[in-house]
Structures are given as C-alpha cells and as structure tokens.
Amino acid sequence: MMLEVRGLTKSYGEETAVDGLSFSAERGEFVTLLGPSGCGKTTVLKTVAGIRTPDEGRVLLRGDDVTGAKPEERQVGVVFQSSSLFPRMTVRQNVEYAVKPHIDDADERRKRVDEVLDLVEMSDKSTASPGSLSGGEARRVELARALSYEPDVALLDEPLTGLDRALRNELKNEIRRVHDETGVTTVLVTHDQEEAISVSDTVVVMNDGEKEQEGTPREVYRQPRTRFVAEFVGESTRFDGVVDRSGDVTTDEGAKVRVNGRGEGGEGDEASVYVRPENVALVRDVDVYDNIFSGEVVELTEMGSHAEAVVSTEAGDILSEVRGFSDVREGQKVVVGFDDSDAVVVADAADGEP
C-alpha cells in the first residue's frame, strides 16, 4: 500500500474537522476525496502532507509511519487550492527549486526539469514569470513542480476550482493523462461530483469529517449506501416509504415502487428509494417498465445536450431526462416509467438516521 490513513481525527478549537477517517491508496491508484466545502477534505490532504498534525490517527507512506514527520521528511508533491508558484522565480526556477533537494547533479537536474515541463506541455513558457501565466498554465506548472521529484504521493487540492468550464474539462483530462503516464499515486480533493467520477479509480465520499462511502465511481453513483451520497452525487428522484415483504417500498402517499436488488432494507424499515433522471423514461402508454406513474409535466428545463422534465404524479414529483428531438411541453399529460433494477433503496437501518 503506498498511502494509508488510519482513524484520522483533527479539531480546530471546538470544531471537529475530520472524525476518524480511514482510507488508502495502492501504488498508482487515483483516489478522490469528494465532499461539500467544509467537510474536512483539505485538512486530510494537509495532514498527509505533514502541514497539519492530527489529534489522533496515523499516516503511513510505503508502510512507514510518518505521522510525526515534517513535510520535508516525506515524499509528497502538493498542488494547493490557490496558486502557490513562487512569485519571484520563473517557471523553470520554480521547478528547479523543487528538484534541488532530491538531485545533486546539475545536469541531471536540468534534464528532469525539461522532462516534467515537457510532460505538461509548458516547455515554451519556462522563462515566464508566474504572474504572466493564465490560470490553466499556472496549474500545469504546479502539477509539473509537484511531480518533478517523483513523490510517493501527489496531493491535489481542488486544482480545477475557479477555472472556466471548458478549461476545467481540458485540465481534468490532462491530470488523468499525466497520472497515467507517470504512474504516480494521486489523491485529489474536490466538491464536484462530475469531476470525481470522471477522473478517479476510487472515490471516497466525505461529509462532516466522516467517510460516507468508498468505492469505484460507478459504485458510488449507482449504489449509494447513504442518503447523503445519493443526494450529493448526481441528481435523483427520492421516494420515502416503508419496505414491504417483497422488498419493494410503499411510499407515504401509498404508491408502490418496485425495487430489484440494489440497496438493502428489511420488511418494515423506513427507507428512501432513489432513481436517476436518465433512467426515467417518458412513455405514452403502459410499457415494459416495472414502475409506471402517470402525471403531468410541470417544469421543463433545456440543458443543451438534453432537457429535464419534472413530472407531477401520485407518487410525488419525478425528475426525468428527455433526450433527442422531443415534443414534450409543460402541462402535457405523460406517463413515466423506470426499471426496478434502476431503483436504489437506502433504508434507515443502513443509514443510521431516525
């Protein structure tokens, strides 16, 4: 295991930032800590880097306990949330300064600097001052600098925040490409679920300093185990009700939602069923779907690549994604359907909530 974090706890005064968090990253793995602002994810990153000292818990790098070690005694590369390029040094000097403690030979050092600037396609800006770089360019150089001394772990703190959407997409792909080429173990911190899901091998969803769920992007998106995860990671329609003998859920409004195998709940448990809008189809008549509700389109929002329709039914408002050329209009009577295998149950027994 390249990185292990065990039972990490850290308070600032009365406020608990991180509460007993554990996770790990294998060599070459890309792990993302995903959670809302203030959930403690940056504190985790800074503790791994040795910038914060935990109240409790251990940090292990390559199996060695480094909990008490200073930052300079660890092999970590960090990209901080706000640009931390040294303003009085050029791009090249920034990277050179990072490599210096690790490579004694000047020629070899120069070669390494050339390599990493090449890697992020910033060779032609090597004499530029950080102030003259665009947001995306500065990020690239910071990434190169953090990887230049071949750290055990690269720690990236919201590297895409504050950039335009188009640039964010480009840089996200860049980060993944650089990870794949260098094979460096990477921990990224973000509040953006789309970013987390599209870039990571493993996603750790955090809330209020605790781990809510850990899994592959697909697991976290399709098999949320808590209400928080279901609601924070992507959009869904939520039905509240009680699990019946067959494992299906009868909602508080009396509607029955059929469920097939995703999530868990014992008979009589209070539970919520979640279904993603892209799994809810608008149909004209009763169809092959296991769950069918008729209602009326009360809101239709154009999203560019698709539209989102809110359909008011006897089971409540249901969100459906409408694709392709469609003549759906607000006020129209429609029938919505979704498969029982696309419905996820989160029961209170599993959630721990009342």
Partner 1 sequence: MRRRETVVFGGIGAVLFLYVVYPFAAFFIGTRGAGSDVGSGFREAVVNSLVTAPVATAIATVFGVPLAYFLSRAEFRGKVVVEALVVLPLVLPPVVGGAMLLMGFGRLTTVGSIAVSMGVPLTDSLVGVVLAQTFVASPFVVVTSRAGFSSVDEDLEHASRTMGHGPIATFWNVSLPSARTAVGAGVVLTFARAIGEFGATMMVAYNPRTMPTLIWVDFIARGVDGVVAPALVLIGVSLTVIVAVQRLERIPRLRR
* Pure H helices in 91-187: 91-99, 106-119, 135-147, 165-182
Contact, 217 vs 229, CB < 8 A?
no
Q: Which stretch binds partner 1 (CB under 8 A): 15-23, 48-56, 176-184, 219-227?
A: 48-56
Nearer to partner 1, 50 or 241 (CB): 50
Q: Is 241 exposed, middle or buried, given 0-12, 13-18 or 19+ CB atoms closer than 10 A? A: buried
Q: Does residue 40 interact with a copy of itself by CB under 8 A? A: no
Residue 250 corresponds to which amino acid? T
Question: Considering just the CA atoms, what is the radius of gyration of the chain in Å?
Answer: 24
Nearer to a copy of itself, 166 or 288 (CB): 166
For residue 228, what is the enclosing H or E element? Answer: helix 227-232
Pick the binder of partner 1 from 3, 18, 31, 49 (CB under 8 A).
Answer: 49
Q: Does residue 266 interact with a copy of itself by CB under 8 A? A: no
- Report, in Å, the least distance between residue 280 CB and a copy of itself: 11
Instruction: Tell me which residues in 82-111 interact with a copy of itself (CB under 8 A).
Output: none
Cα(81)–Cα(189) distance, integer angstroms:
9
Contact, 184 vs 61, CB < 8 A?
no
Contact, 346 vs 274, CB < 8 A?
yes
User: Which phi and psi (to 5°) does residue 57 adopt?
Assistant: 100, 170
Q: Does residue 97 interact with partner 1 by CB under 8 A? A: yes
Pick the binder of partner 1 from 14, 72, 107, 124 (CB under 8 A).
Answer: 72
Pick the binder of a copy of itself from 166, 288, 327, 352 (CB under 8 A).
Answer: 166
Q: Does residue 323 interact with a copy of itself by CB under 8 A? A: yes
User: Which phi and psi (to 5°) does residue 239 adopt?
Assistant: -115, 125
Count CB atoms within 10 A of the CB of residue 68.
Answer: 11
- Report, in Å, the least distance between residue 272 CB and a copy of itself: 16
* Residue 172-211 contact track with a copy of itself, rule CB under 8 A, x = bound: -------------------xxxx--xx-------------
Which parts of this chain interact with partner 1 (CB under 8 A)?
A: 46, 49-51, 70-72, 74, 76-78, 80-82, 84, 86-88, 97-98, 100-102, 131, 145, 149, 151
Which parts of this chain interact with a copy of itself (CB under 8 A)?
A: 36-37, 135, 162, 164-167, 169, 191-194, 197-198, 217-218, 221, 231-235, 276-278, 301-306, 308, 321, 323
